Structures are given as structure tokens and as C-alpha cells.
Amino acid sequence: MQELLFLGLFMAALGIGWFLGRREAIKVGVMLAPHASAIDKQYFIGLNYLLNEQPDEAIETFIRALEVNPETVETHIAIGKLFCQRGDVERAIKVHQNLLARPNLTALQADRVQFELARDYLAVGLHHRAERLLNELVETSTSLRAEVLADLVRIHERERDWPQAVAVGRRLVKERESFAVTLAHYHCELAREALARSEVPQARRDLLDALSCQRENVRAMLMLAELELGQGRDAEARKWLRRLALHDADFVPQALPLLHKLAARGSLDLLAYLDEVLDNSQPPMMATVLAKAEELNKRSGISAASKHVLVYLQQQPSLSGLLYLIDLHKDSVEPRGYANLMILRGIVEALLVDKHKYRCHACGFSGRQLHWQCPTCHGWSTIRPLKGRELAAISPQQFN
Ligand SMILES: [Zn+2]
């Protein structure tokens, strides 16, 4: 069925192209016979192939029959693109290469064909060939510059060549402001590599560059806090964690290990910090609620912790909250009640095991781990922690 639809579309495109070719030939006063009759002949040979269910031969014949002139170039480009989208990249490359060899293309048309050819090469993984064509185009074509830079940056990203990705990304962001989010992550990737080489000052510069691209990049803030903590610069680490709470409190649970370290060194009043976060986030992340409960438990005992969790649980049912309460009270339950409580605990724990905690708002991918780049749609910063009702809605089968 799909094959028939494709052939139908293909025939329509060719028919229009063929008609335009003839019309252009008449307009410029070219004698239609015997040249035009040769095209007509090719066209009927193609039809014959089609009727005999030989689509490959039919397509080859039609392409030969289609005149290339300024009015049919777009048809040729569209045919090549159609082949590429259909997965027949070899044929798409042939169409675009043949087209590029024509001397009568305008500069704009030649750029367009070269761009499509580069995309064909990308589709079959010939990255170096695509890169060469795109590098030429980026210097010559102004109309396609943003698209060309976007394809080039995608090649560097796939190859994890972060210095190149940053260099091209800096040019792209001038054309597309929204690219700043992605560019910020490229700087974070550079920082990650610098840290692996133990080049702390370089990593710090890369992370500050990331924040100059996107002020609210939580990944850069978290990495800076960790870096400064590792260097014993607690005040700096605290500054980044405060900024994280201010910009995006939903990511505070990612910082809990760092917050606990700072608190253990006496460099942070964890309870005051968590209070501030909970006051500013609606609904709050349950992990933040539980972190505060734990602090209350240490300072004022079980009753204060339990009361605090119950207030949030009544507004926002949560399995992890329930598990926390069970653990909090299990030692004060009589032996028979204890056995029943442990059965309940096992059930709650089993429900939590496969629970997805993160979701990509661009493609809907969900998972148990936080990825800065979505593994499905490859968007950066598109995955966020789930909370409240979202968290319950992501895997309803688990609650049956
Ligand atoms: Zn996604």
C-alpha cells in the first residue's frame, strides 16, 4: 500500500516536472521535435515498465526523461528528497549528484542541491562527506546558513567532538537564539572532559561559559557546586546551591548529597535551606519534603518528622512518603503489628522499584534516571523530574 502511494506521488511529481519541462522548452523556443519526442518516448517506456510491475526500471527511465531547467529543478530536488525519506538514499544521492553537475543551475539552486546531497550523506552515515559539503555551504549560502550550521553541529554532537560543537554552536546561536540551551550543555560536556583530566580551573571556566549561555542551566550549577565543594570552597558551593534553589527547586533533590556534605562540615544550615526551598516550590518534590523530615527527626524527634510528612501526604499522595512513615514508626509497633507492617512495607517497596521518576516534555520518554540529553529525541534539558500527580500518572498500571 505504501509502495503504491509512493509511486502515485512520484508519478504526480514527474508529471508536473515533465509538463513544466515541456512548457519551458516551448517558452524559450526550443524545437520540441526530435528532442521532445525522445522525451515522450522515454516517458512511455517508463509507463510500460510501471505497467509491467518493474518500478525500479520505471523510476530510472522517468528521471532520464525529466528535463532539467530552472522550472523543474525544484521537482528534481523534491524527487531526491522523497527517495531519501523513503530510505532509498543511494538513488537520492544519484538524483542530487546529477543535478549538481548541471551547468545551468543558479547559485541559489546549486546551494539547495548541495544541502540536500549533504543530508543524503548524513542519512547513510557518511559524516565526513556531509561535513565537507556543509563547511563549503556555510561560507557561501546566507539563506541556508542556520540550517547548515544546525546540521554541522549535529555531526559534531554525534561524534562527541565538543570543541567543534561549541565553535559551530557559537555561530548558530547568533541565528537561532533558542540554541543557547544546547550550547550551554556543550560547555558542560567540555567541563566534564576537563574534570576527567583534573583541569579544575578550565572546568570552572567552561561551566561559567555554560551559565553565560543559559543563566538558569541547572546542570552547570550542580557541577559548579560539586567542583567548589571538592576544592574546599564551601562558600562558593553554597552560592551555587542557593542559586539552584532559586532558579529550579525541582532539581534540589539532585543536590542532596552535596547539601549533606556541606551541612556535615558546618557550612550550611540544611533545615533553613530546605525550609526556603519548600516555601518556594508548589507542589514540592517529595524527596525535598523527606530530606526536611529527616532533619526534623534528628533535631526534634519522630513526632515532628511524622507531622511534617503527613501534612504533605494529605495534599499529595506519595509512595515514597508512605515508605518513609512506615520506617519512621516500625520500631514503635508491637510484634504482631510489626509483621503486618513489614508486609505492607514490602508491597510499597515493590511498587516503587520500577517507578519512572523523570519524563521528557518534548517526546514523552520516561525513565528512572535523569539524563541531560533525552535518549529518544536527543533534546537537551527536556527531561524533568516528575512530581505530584504527574508521578502517579506516569505508570498507572502499577497502582492496579
Ligand atoms: Zn525526548
Ligand 1 centroid–CA 283 distance in Å is: 23
pLDDT at res. 95: 83
Of 13-22, 108-117, 213-222, 303-312, where does mean pLDDT reach its minimum?
13-22
pLDDT at res. 334: 84
Do 329 and 363 have their domain in common? Answer: no
Do 348 and 360 have their domain in common? Answer: no
Whether the CA torsion 330, 333, 334, 336 is positive or negative: it is negative
Do 337 and 291 have their domain in common? Answer: yes
Q: Span 325-330, mean pLDDT?
A: 90
Confidence of residue 134 (pLDDT cuts 50, 70, 90): very high
Do 339 and 378 have their domain in common? Answer: no
| Residue 130 belongs to a domain | no
Query: Is residue 366 predicted with pLDDT exceeding 80?
Result: yes
Measured between alpha carbons, how far is 60 from 95 in angstroms, rounded to an integer?
Answer: 10
Measured between alpha carbons, how far is 186 from 207 in angstroms, rounded to an integer?
Answer: 10
pLDDT at res. 330: 87
Ligand 1 centroid–CA 359 distance in Å is: 8
Do 349 and 362 have their domain in common? Answer: no
Ligand 1 centroid–CA 373 distance in Å is: 8
Do 362 and 392 have their domain in common? Answer: yes
Q: Which long-range contacts (CB under 8 A, 24 or more apart) does 156-163 make?
A: 157/186, 158/127, 159/127, 160/189, 162/186, 162/189, 162/190, 162/193, 163/190
Do 349 and 273 have their domain in common? Answer: yes
| Residue 160 belongs to a domain | no
Query: Is residue 37 predicted with pLDDT exceeding 90?
Result: no
CB-based burial label for 235 (10 Å; 0-12, 13-18, 19+): exposed
Do 313 and 335 have their domain in common? Answer: yes
Ligand 1 centroid–CA 363 distance in Å is: 4
Query: Is residue 189 predicted with pLDDT exceeding 80?
Result: yes
Domain CATH code at residue 384: 2.20.28
Of 136-140, 243-247, 385-389, where does mean pLDDT reach its minimum?
385-389
Q: Span 241-249, mean pLDDT?
A: 95
Ligand 1 centroid–CA 377 distance in Å is: 4
Ligand 1 centroid–CA 72 distance in Å is: 38
Of 9-18, 205-214, 236-245, where does mean pLDDT reach its minimum?
9-18
pLDDT at res. 80: 80
| Residue 332 belongs to a domain | yes
Query: Is residue 243 predicted with pLDDT exceeding 60?
Result: yes
| Residue 284 belongs to a domain | yes
Q: What is the CA radius of gyration of the chain?
A: 31
Query: Is residue 237 predicted with pLDDT exceeding 90?
Result: yes
Query: Is residue 36 predicted with pLDDT exceeding 70?
Result: no
- Per residue in 43-72, pLDDT (tens digit) is 667 667 666 666 677 676 666 666 666 667
Do 347 and 399 have their domain in common? Answer: no
Do 397 and 366 have their domain in common? Answer: yes
| Residue 319 belongs to a domain | yes
Please indicate whether residue 225 or residue 388 has the higher confidence score (pLDDT): 225
Q: Span 337-360, mean pLDDT?
A: 88
Of 58-72, 91-105, 303-317, 363-377, where does mean pLDDT reach its minimum?
58-72
Q: Span 353-368, mean pLDDT?
A: 91
pLDDT at res. 139: 87
Instruction: Kindly give the pairing relationship between strand 366-367 and strand 358-360.
Output: antiparallel
Ligand 1 centroid–CA 382 distance in Å is: 6
| Residue 312 belongs to a domain | yes
Do 348 and 288 have their domain in common? Answer: yes
Confidence of residue 14 (pLDDT cuts 50, 70, 90): low
Ligand 1 centroid–CA 63 distance in Å is: 39
User: What domain range is 330 assigned to?
Assistant: 269-353
Work out how many domains the chain is built from and give that number: 2
User: pLDDT averaged over the chain?
Assistant: 85
| Residue 301 belongs to a domain | yes
Ligand 1 centroid–CA 310 distance in Å is: 34
Measured between alpha carbons, how far is 20 from 24 in angstroms, rounded to an integer?
Answer: 6
Ligand 1 centroid–CA 151 distance in Å is: 19
Q: Span 285-296, mean pLDDT?
A: 94
Query: Is residue 29 predicted with pLDDT exceeding 50?
Result: no
Of 66-80, 91-105, 129-143, where does mean pLDDT reach its minimum?
66-80
Q: Span 332-360, mean pLDDT?
A: 87
Confidence of residue 291 (pLDDT cuts 50, 70, 90): very high
Do 314 and 385 have their domain in common? Answer: no
pLDDT at res. 178: 95
| Residue 399 belongs to a domain | yes
Ligand 1 centroid–CA 4 distance in Å is: 33
Measured between alpha carbons, how far is 77 from 92 in angstroms, rounded to an integer?
Answer: 9
pLDDT at res. 39: 56
pLDDT at res. 8: 59
